[in-house]
Structure 1
């Protein structure tokens, strides 16, 4: 290997390391979507260690139809939410009231691929009526909104 090839290889290795560190930093950042989650409610993250990479998916969800979420709106009873969405993955007290967390999986339009979406239902102080619903990702809220518009 001549000096020019060695110098080029060193540049390539340094550039690759820089790119990997930037991608790693971006991947660790998970900003709150101020459009769909203006109150900055928290969601649970998944952490993976190197041996876990053998698993096909670290977060999975129940396959669902986006149009059905039209039935879950402010004022809906907790019993109606459970009838429409099923048992929540997690129930906990949050900053704005009792929270039910769900993971759903939607088939992407014109695709055989799925998107896993985290959904939170927040109840009023009585714990009996929906105060608000929040999607963690705008892409999920958009899929549901489009399905609701075509179902109307």
Structure 2
């Protein structure tokens, strides 16, 4: 029986080949070994450099990239790029360059970056170049298309002024028959229940804490009687309600009164003679409307 141990030579050869390939990748990227220690003096020199920016011809052709797919970079990482950074720091932010830049003394890294447009899978492609000085510190970062640099600008969110629409006027309708004695309009002619309702409304507006913009008190009558008589009666009743609201503490300057007479009926009834049935049918038209506009 053969008890000899298989040769280790093939395994060793494979391991050596893998190591050699890894080193070749690193060498081609121009960053085979970690960057040296960064000193304040070196950073100062990088900041003082004023290299000429590259032209479009200085950027490598996209089809010559070693990693042609490019990447979708972090915007925050790109915003963190500064002069005076070493290759390790750049690689930590942007990863390896996408082109074979050379082996020794590499002073330039080039990238292919993609940015989403927000329209489904659509994106735009930009070329980005990082240049290093003799201390192997960054002293220039450039976009082939200057418009790509604008993609790093944070989106300005302008505060939207919230316009609160004014509250719709609150409308209270009081039946005149429940407010005044028949065919009367003076304060002394107010019925107890009608007076209580107007006083309660005035007290409610005072307690609510609302800033009163205005109150419109409109008196209405039925169609029985002359136009002039009904106009005068409706206005007189509106004035009486206003005076009662002012007595509750409301500002009289903010209360306007209107006498509509019989011009805005809400009920239509047949007949011309003032029979009890017709008077009863026309009752909804005899009313006082109070519209209140106030800020909450």
Please give the TM-score of this superposition, normalised by the length of structure 2.
Answer: 0.29
In structure 2, the residue matched to 1:142 is 150
Distance 2:132 2:108 in 1: 6
Distance 1:133 1:119 in 2: 7
Q: Check conservation: 1:67, 1:147, Cα contact below 8 A.
A: no
Gaps of 5+ in 1: 1-36, 48-58
Matched, 1:43 2:51: no
- How far has the Cα of 1:73 moved from its partner? 1.2
Matched, 1:72 2:81: yes
In structure 2, the residue matched to 1:84 is 93
Q: Check conservation: 1:124, 1:131, Cα contact below 8 A.
A: yes
For 2:55, what is the secondary structure of its paired residue? coil
Higher relative contact order (CA 8 A, sep 6+): 1
Mark the CA change 1:149 to 1:133 in structure 2 (over 3 Å): closer, same or farther.
farther
Q: How many residues align?
A: 97
Larger Rg: 1 or 2?
A: 2
- How far has the Cα of 1:91 moved from its partner? 4.9
- How far has the Cα of 1:86 moved from its partner? 0.4
Aligned CA-pair RMSD: 2.6
For 1:132, what is the secondary structure of its paired residue? strand
| Residue pairs, 1:1-152, within 5 angstroms | 38-40=53-55, 42-46=58-62, 60-92=69-101, 98-108=107-117, 110-112=118-120, 113-127=122-136, 129-144=137-152, 146-147=153-154
- How far has the Cα of 1:119 moved from its partner? 0.5
Mark the CA change 1:73 to 1:100 in structure 2 (over 3 Å): closer, same or farther.
same
In structure 2, the residue matched to 1:55 is none
Gaps of 5+ in 2: 1-51, 158-296
Please give the TM-score of this superposition, normalised by the length of structure 1.
Answer: 0.54
Distance 1:116 1:79 in 2: 25
